[in-house]
Amino acid sequence: MKKLAKDPINVVVAGVGGQGNVMVTLVLGNTLVHDGYFVTIGETYGASQRGGSVMSHLKISAEKQYSPLIPEGQADIVLGMEPVETLRVLKSYGNQNLVTVLNPRPIHPVDFTGSGAGYPDMESLLKQVTSMSAKTYVVAATEEAQKLGNTMLANMILIGALIQTGLVAISQEAIEKTIKDMFPKAVKENIAALNKGRELAAKQ
Amino acid sequence: MPNIDIDAPGSNQLFIGNEAMARGALEAGIGWASAYPGTPSSEILGSLAEVAKKRDIYVEWSVNEKVAMEAGAAASFAGIRSLVAMKMNGLNTVIDFLSTVILSGIGKKGLVLIVGDDPAAHSSSNESDSRPVSKWLDIPLVEPGDFQEAKDMMPYLYDISEEFGTICIMRSVTRVAHARGNIRLGVIPKVEHKARFEQYFDPAAPMPTPIMCVPSSFRHMFQHMRLDKVREKFEASPYNKYVGPEKPDLLIVTSGSGWLYSQDAVNALKAENRIGILKLGTLWPLPEKLVKSCLSRADKVLFIEETDPFLEGVIMEFAAGFSPESKRNLFYGNHTRHLNSFGELTPDTVIKAITGVLDIKYAPRDAEYMKKVEAVPQQYIMDRLLTFCPGCPHRASFWAIKNALAMDGRNGFVTGDIGCYSMALGPAGFFQTRTHQCMGAGAGLANGFGQLHRFGFDQPVISVVGDSTFYHSIIPGLVNGVHNHSDFTLVILDNGATAMTGFQPHPGTELTAMGEPAAQISMENICRAIGARVEVCDPFDLKNTTRTMLDLIEQKEGARVAIMRRTCELVRQKKEEKPYKMKIDPEKCLGEDCGCNRLCTRVFRCPGLIWDPVARKTKLDEVICNECGVCADVCPEGAITKEAVA
């Protein structure tokens, strides 16, 4: 376990119920705990499972157990699984030093559909996100996962991109161990997705 | 992921609070656990069920909380350490039993009740605080402040329960129960459980007696004597602690989730030298000596608590009895509006409360960034209303109910209940549900509405309940309705699981909590035995379901039942491939120009269907759609088609 440049590191994972938000924080959290870090994760689930906005707060510390919620404006990294949800989180937790990793694949809120307004214009949406982040990685995780044959692999692609930023104190070796522990039947696919995410982020 | 019984003492694991409590119960050597699922408490029993056979303990999903509580008490009466778990709503249903078991006392082995509260009602119909029940009914109560304590407090609580012969309560909240953190594991002992129910030698009597609550006043006095002894024990509890300077400018008194938030807030304000924190893990009976000595440290005292001002009330009440020469504190908290007694605590609400008492400046973000925050267009981040999953049978059931009520034309409505289908209050269920209270209330209300015809009431009434809810608390309502000729239709949405809380079994399903074959109780047999007309339909057959509903609504002969049966989509997709290949023909879709004015995306609103505002047509979102086929029967133009997958 290394001392962290900033302690704690605050990560928000933003998405929509059913996307696998909880699983993402669990993969990251398990890896970090086994490397000796203190990890606290606050999750919104229950009713939010059904198509609502879902957000997980992940705090990483080399020193102590923190509370499960991040204070306003104090996120260091936002892992955005969905564009509208990413912007929603930036509004509450963003700041000028924040790094965003974003999957640009929209999940249409039924209200946007119902009203006939449709989803917000993607270009302006991404512009908003970029202007509110010190650095933004746009990772077409769903598209890449479809190419790999399973849309659920989008989450591991995003995890790969997040690790590639170098901000979360997770080594390739440590994450591969977690993948073997948590997904023993799909190790190869998950490691391929992880590396795909790293590759996509490395180019940016 | 390791099970909660992983044999690695001293190792660190990432557990949610509920798993930590379950692990703690194993380390305490329990032999029994019973519960009814309810967020945020469900994973306690769920994680114990996974290891029950291996650890030789009995684990049961009971039909409701009341039975879970009483059955669990029997295990304690017969000499087995017993755990019962429920959410705060369940606590309300066991109050009667608790009010007598504190008089009768327990058996030779401990009895612990865990109650999971849900501040902000993330997944609940209310956000009530369970802690006052401890003072009301004279029950010792503890509250873990972090994940490690959620585990470590369990063996501690069993020791208290046995030493003093009383049931004890652990209160948790969503941000402990459903948050994850580090747990250092202890040892799970090998216990030879031996159950035998003997005449109980009651030291209060003192003679062998049945375990009974009479003579009540005498036993009430005895429980108060027990509480005094527990209070002495709590004075030295390792779960109460003070951190901070010797003489702080401000003393925070907190418990539960407030412990970590208070530390984070003090840290964010860089006020470690000015603020001390008294964290109480044992709340009732109040460790008075400890509290008094901490109050003497500071003039100003701020209470940080989630939901009700419980400690604020009992400590101010206690301090009001101090002698005139004692220190007089200035108290802040809910009564001074520094904190709300509704919604949940966050680090920000705690920071705001502190800066409201001490003169400390705090600005989390600079002005330039705040300009960007304020410039975010509101239409980009409209609230995402909850809806049923794509392919959920409930969407189809409510579609049929809506259409049947429209055809009937008498402004009929649904009385709702608790489950995923609660979302039918909104667009997910086409606003058909008009009442929403607690489990079982929909059927009870329907009983009442169904008798009002004598006062001119002529609207059809439909009570919609889930399958698990039916067994939990609907049967008496149906008995009452049939017996008294109340005019309503009971609809049971039978999706084969307690879906909302994580697919736990119920009396209608095949397996017990421990994975053994269960005696399945047929809901149609129960309803028919009560004397109700019963119709069973598949909600995906919209035409037949609508026709059946209309026929039932228009019958005016007491309570009758429709069972809408189809497996929960989330359960189905784990076992089977998608049943259809769905397509939308853009030539046939007329969008807003259609006679239906895009019925599919405007009203039906399955998340699998999206509206393309440029092409002005409905499209399929192939990543989201579960290809259930129902929307093909909603589209009047035949633009949406389903093709069975061979």
* 3 state DSSP class of B224: helix
Residue whose entry in the numeric block shows the structure tokens 């919604």: B343
**pLDDT tens digits for A150-195?**
999 999 999 999 999 999 999 999 999 999 999 999 999 999 999 9
The B residues from 328 to 367 touching A (CB cutoff 8 Å) are 346-348, 351, 364-366
Asked if the Cβ–Cβ distance from A68 to B181 is below 8 Å, we say: yes
Q: Report d(CA B120, CA A46) in Å as an integer.
A: 12
The B residues from 67 to 86 touching A (CB cutoff 8 Å) are none
Please give, rounded to a whole number of angstroms, the shortest distance from the CA of B41 to a CA of chain A: 11
User: Rounded to a whole number, what is the distance in angstroms from the first to the last CA of chain A?
Assistant: 28
Q: Are A21 and A57 in contact (CB under 8 A)?
A: no
In DSSP terms, B578 is beta-bridged to none
**Whether B180 contacts chain A with CB within 8 A:** yes
Q: Report d(CA A101, CA B394) in Å as an integer.
A: 36
Nearest Cα residue to B490 out of B437, B425, B555:
B555
The angle subtended at Cα A134 by Cα A128 and Cα A135, nearest 5°, is 85
**pLDDT tens digits for A77-86?**
999 999 999 9
Residues from chain B that touch A65, judged by Cβ atoms under 8 A, are 146-148, 181-182, 260
Asked if the peptide bond before residue B37 counts as cis, ω within 30 degrees of 0, the response is no
Residues from chain B that touch A112, judged by Cβ atoms under 8 A, are 382, 611
**Residue B632 corresponds to which tokens in the numbers above?**
């093909």
Closest partner CB to B182 (pick from A39, A85, A182):
A39
- Radius of gyration of chain A from its Cα atoms, rounded to whole angstroms: 16
Which DSSP state fits B555? Answer: -
Please give, rounded to a whole number of angstroms, the shortest distance from the CA of B99 to a CA of chain A: 31
ipTM of the predicted structure? 0.95
Residues from chain B that touch A73, judged by Cβ atoms under 8 A, are 364-365, 369
**pLDDT tens digits for B184-227?**
999 999 999 999 998 776 666 666 778 888 889 999 999 999 99
Asked if the Cβ–Cβ distance from B613 to A67 is below 8 Å, we say: no
Asked if the Cβ–Cβ distance from A71 to B347 is below 8 Å, we say: yes
For chain B of 646 residues, list the mean pLDDT of each consecutive stretch of 10: 90 97 98 96 97 97 98 97 98 97 93 97 94 98 98 98 96 96 97 89 68 90 95 98 98 98 97 98 98 97 97 97 90 97 96 97 95 94 88 97 98 96 94 97 98 97 97 98 97 91 91 96 98 98 98 91 96 92 96 92 94 92 93 96 92
**Whether B257 contacts chain A with CB within 8 A:** yes
Query: Which H helix or E strand runs over A84?
Result: helix A83-93
Q: Report d(CA B39, CA B33) in Å as an integer.
A: 17
CA distances from A81 to A160, B122, B161 (A): 13, 21, 47
Residue whose entry in the numeric block shows the structure tokens 């699984």: A81
pLDDT of A51 reads 76
* CA B259 from centroid of its chain's CA atoms: 22
Closest partner CB to B613 (pick from A70, A71, A117):
A117
**Whether B132 contacts chain A with CB within 8 A:** no
Asked if the Cβ–Cβ distance from A65 to B260 is below 8 Å, we say: yes
Nearest Cα residue to A80 out of A92, A72, A88, A71:
A88
CA distances from B270 to A86, B120, B275, B355, B443 (A): 30, 28, 10, 12, 54
**Whether A34 contacts chain B with CB within 8 A:** yes
pLDDT of B204 reads 62
Residues from chain B that touch A41, judged by Cβ atoms under 8 A, are 14, 179-181
CA dihedral B97, B100, B105, B111 (to 10 degrees): 20
pLDDT of B501 reads 84
pLDDT of B299 reads 97
Q: Report d(CA B55, CA B49) in Å as an integer.
A: 10
Q: Report d(CA A165, CA A201) in Å as an integer.
A: 7
Q: Which of B173, B368, B370, B381 to mutate to test the interface with A (most CBs of A within 10 A)?
A: B381
Burial string for B542-581 (b: 16+ CB within 10 Å, else e) reads beebbbbbbebbeeeebbbbbbbbbbbbbebbeeeeebbe
Nearest residue of chain A to residue B257 (CA atoms): A67
Q: Are B355 and B362 in contact (CB under 8 A)?
A: yes
CATH number of A9-202: 3.40.920.10
Please give, rounded to a whole number of angstroms, the shortest distance from the CA of A5 to a CA of chain B: 17
DSSP codes, B350-383: HHHHHHHHS-----SS-HHHHHHHHTS-GGGG--
CA distances from B10 to B182, B185, B554 (A): 12, 5, 66
pTM here? Answer: 0.96
Burial string for A9-43 (b: 16+ CB within 10 Å, else e) reads bbbbbbbbbbbbbbbbbbbbbbbbbbbebbbbbbb
Mean pLDDT of A128-139: 98
**Whether B186 contacts chain A with CB within 8 A:** no
pLDDT of B203 reads 65
Nearest residue of chain B to residue A23 (CA atoms): B1
Q: Report d(CA A138, CA A151) in Å as an integer.
A: 17
Q: Report d(CA B303, CA B294) in Å as an integer.
A: 13
**Whether B148 contacts chain A with CB within 8 A:** yes
Closest partner CB to B384 (pick from A30, A90, A109):
A109
Residue type, A59: K
Residue A46 has pLDDT above 60, yes or no: no
Q: Which residues contact B566 (CB under 8 A, 6 or more apart)?
A: B393, B396, B494, B495, B538, B539, B540
* 3 state DSSP class of B58: strand
- Helix then strand then coil, in percent of chain A rounded to 5, is 45, 15, 35
pLDDT of B557 reads 76
**Whether B12 contacts chain A with CB within 8 A:** yes
Q: Report d(CA B249, CA A4) in Å as an integer.
A: 32
Nearest residue of chain A to residue B604 (CA atoms): A114
pLDDT of B205 reads 63
Burial of residue B411 (number of CB atoms within 10 Å: 0-12, 13-18, 19+): exposed
Closest partner CB to B12 (pick from A33, A44, A110):
A33
- CB atoms under 10 Å from CB of B11, counted, come to 13
Q: Are B274 and B245 in contact (CB under 8 A)?
A: yes
Residue A113 has pLDDT above 90, yes or no: no
* 3 state DSSP class of B176: helix
Q: Which of A19, A34, A50 to mutate to test the interface with B (most CBs of B within 10 A)?
A: A50
Q: Are B256 and B307 in contact (CB under 8 A)?
A: no
Nearest residue of chain B to residue A182 (CA atoms): B1
**Residue B523 corresponds to which tokens in the numbers above?**
């809901």
pLDDT of B38 reads 95
* 3 state DSSP class of A19: coil
The A residues from 50 to 109 touching B (CB cutoff 8 Å) are 50-53, 65-74, 84-85, 87-88, 90-91, 94-96, 105, 107-109
Asked if the Cβ–Cβ distance from A67 to B347 is below 8 Å, we say: yes
Q: Domains of chain B (ranges plus CATH)?
A: 12-235 (3.40.50.970), 241-357 (3.40.50.920), 393-575 (3.40.50.970), 580-644 (3.30.70.20)
Closest partner CB to A87 (pick from B122, B380, B383):
B380
Please give, rounded to a whole number of angstroms, the shortest distance from the CA of B343 to a CA of chain A: 14
Residues from chain A that touch B369, judged by Cβ atoms under 8 A, are 73, 94-96, 132
Q: Which of B13, B14, B118, B147 to mutate to test the interface with A (most CBs of A within 10 A)?
A: B14
Asked if the Cβ–Cβ distance from A43 to B179 is below 8 Å, we say: yes
pLDDT of B340 reads 95
The B residues from 372 to 411 touching A (CB cutoff 8 Å) are 372-373, 376-377, 379-389
Cα atoms found within 13 Å of the Cα of residue A179, Cβ hemisphere only: 23
User: Rounded to a whole number, what is the distance in angstroms from the first to the last CA of chain B?
Assistant: 36
pLDDT > 70 in chain A, percent: 97
**Whether B601 contacts chain A with CB within 8 A:** yes
**Whether B612 contacts chain A with CB within 8 A:** yes
Asked if the Cβ–Cβ distance from B14 to A39 is below 8 Å, we say: yes
